[in-house]
Chains A and B, each alone.
Chain A
Amino acid sequence: MKSSTKKKQFQWHFFVFFIPVFLWIMIMFVLPQGELVRLSFMVPDYSQEEIVNNLSLENYANFFTEPIYWRTFMRTAIFSIFITVIDLIIALPVAFFITKVVGLKFKGLILILTMLPFWVSGLIRVYGWITFFRESGVLNTTLIKMGLIDSPWPMVYNDMSMILCLSYTTILYMIIPIIGVMDSLDDAYIEAAYDLGSNKIIVWFKIIIPHCVPGIISGAIVVFMYAMGSYMTPKLVGGKNSLWFTEQIYDKFIQSDNWNQGAAFGLILLVLSSIMIGIALKLSRQKFNEVVAK
């Protein structure tokens, strides 16, 4: 008797949780994505009096036939991989320092110092980067004054600076998950390897990095997607010729008002980057739900 009443209450109250959450996910995520799919397969026909939307693959065909579109996409993808790798190379020693090297007393302080720059608005960090590195910027001015260089180095408004600035703005997303897995690495393994005569390189590649793979993958996914999807940094730091794929989407939506083409580009970005992530997960034998929940 008691258990049956309890069960009844549970079901009644299940819907109180289920209905708002379900509606939220549907209205704010699933249906808008569906609308994007619908738009991407439509091409407006302006020849008649009333505008008619025809079903068509044209928006997708444009991506492959116009070199500027798929080249921009390839550029974005390759640069994003670069950014992920740069972040990984920097994040590993920094995370190792925070978890294993620094005295326990200072660990909290260092952790906060690591996160501090990222609590400040992303735009201000990019602005700081420009102020610091541009030709009339603080670094160039100082170097000239010190007599180290004669004319200013072009350190901003080119591809290289764009990659570095995006690494600068995304590095925390790599450091945090790696710290998470490194914390669980038992020091005894490193000590044992050391006692058995391994050098540091072997310890890194045989013990530390294999242990950190889940964290690395999780960080890499976030950094990669963040880089692929960023608009502000490439726009502000990239040069006249450094196109980023999100800029194409923005142009189609806001400037040329061709939402159908923009929707197709958005879905291409989403699908192709998801495929790349899927391959990375498959190669490292990780699961999406587990990786993202970290």
Chain B
Amino acid sequence: MIRTLPNSKTYSLGYRALIAYYFILMFAPLAVVCVLAFNNSIFTSLPWSGFTWDWFIGEGPEKIGFFNDERNMNGVIISFYTAFFVTILTLIIGTLAAFLFEQEEFVGKKYLYFLLIAPLVVPGVILGISILSFSNSMGTYIETNTGLYLKMFAPGFWLVILGQSTYITPYVTLVVMARLKKFDRTLEEAAYNLGANRFEVIWHITLKFLKPAMIAAGAVAFVLSFDNFNTTLFLVGSEPTMPITLFTQVRDGSTPVINAISVLIVTAVCLIAAINLIIAHQKHKVK
């Protein structure tokens, strides 16, 4: 059953076949999408009718490749901008929250912590509609009382960033907190004895210690933001992010340009995974 126990051949083979089947099922749809990106046809299906780069660089009129497709290009660019701001915002709030819940004591800490991590299990759709309703009411309230129309309360770029951050902040907090738990607080005391104040200690010592966790949390935040659909769906204005533009295209009928985008994303993900593996391997060697 486990490594150390003897197994019958049929059991061992059967089990491995089952696992292999699982992985094939996981990868087959992605592989198919990637292959069809190079199919010289305007439909995303077989038969194979020859190799082409048109879905990447085609200039139309029949086949407009990704790099000439304004709508999809814009979607990707907006997603990058959004993810960038979300990463910064969630890192700030998440790290502050990690310090607050790990190193401070106060009345009602348990309840505030519950509220902080609750967005992890509240469906994204509900986060989306609640933030939409709230900001709409705020906007209306300000407009009726001061006559000012503030664009930031209407669905759009900044509201998407705030909405995504609501859902991503708990992830960042948990990652940073996990590292902060391992921090040896006698290091802080040493610094106090040498005359540092609280903020000097945090800046020079604790944050240095947290750096790897903050990089990891930032990466998680970036990926989650780039992929976010449910919350974004309700907050999006005239600048849709990539998942939203892709969704409308898949729903209303699409060309293989989506496959081309998929190839780019899959390649990026594989590269990141490979780098990850190499780094882990080298660390292993050093040890």
Contacts and interface: CB of A to CB of B under 8 A. Distances in A.
Interface of A: 6, 9-10, 12-14, 16-18, 20-22, 24-25, 28-33, 35-36, 39, 90, 93-94, 97, 100-101, 103, 108-109, 112-117, 119-134, 136-138, 141-142, 168, 187, 190-191, 194, 200, 203, 221-222, 225-226, 228-232, 235-236, 246, 249-250, 253-254, 259, 262-263, 266-267, 269-270, 273, 277, 288-289, 292-293
A116 B1 contact: no
B129 A28 contact: no
A58 B26 CA distance: 45
B2 A101 contact: yes
A190 B2 contact: yes
Interface string B17-50: 0110011011111101100100000011111000
Interface string B229-271: 1100110000000110011001100000011011001100110
Going nearest first, the 4 A-B pairs with the smallest beta carbon separation are A229-B123, A128-B29, A32-B130, A32-B134
22 contacts: A29-B166, A35-B133, A100-B1, A101-B2, A112-B277, A114-B26, A115-B273, A120-B269, A122-B229, A122-B243, A124-B262, A127-B246, A131-B32, A131-B36, A138-B45, A138-B46, A187-B2, A225-B123, A226-B123, A246-B230, A270-B126, A289-B117
Contacts of B36: 131, 138
Contacts of A137: 45
A292 B117 contact: yes
A232 B229 contact: yes
A10 B198 contact: yes
Best-buried of A114, A117, A122, A289 by chain B (most CB within 10 Å): A117
A292 B100 CA distance: 19
B126 A266 contact: yes
A226 B112 CA distance: 23
Contacts of A101: 2-3, 15
A13 B132 CA distance: 33
B4 A270 contact: no
Interface string B89-133: 000110011011000101000101111111111111111011111
Best-buried of A101, A124, A190 by chain B (most CB within 10 Å): A124
Given A18-B106, A35-B137, A131-B44, A124 B198 contact: no
Given A35-B133, A293-B117, A17 B46 contact: no
Contacts of A128: 29-30, 32-33, 262
Contacts of B162: 28
A168 B27 CA distance: 11
Given A17-B104, A116-B273, A130-B250, A230 B15 contact: no
A134 B243 CA distance: 21
Nearest to B270: A116
Best-buried of A9, A109, A231, A289 by chain B (most CB within 10 Å): A231
Given A97-B15, A141-B46, A194-B1, A288 B114 contact: yes
B234 A266 contact: no
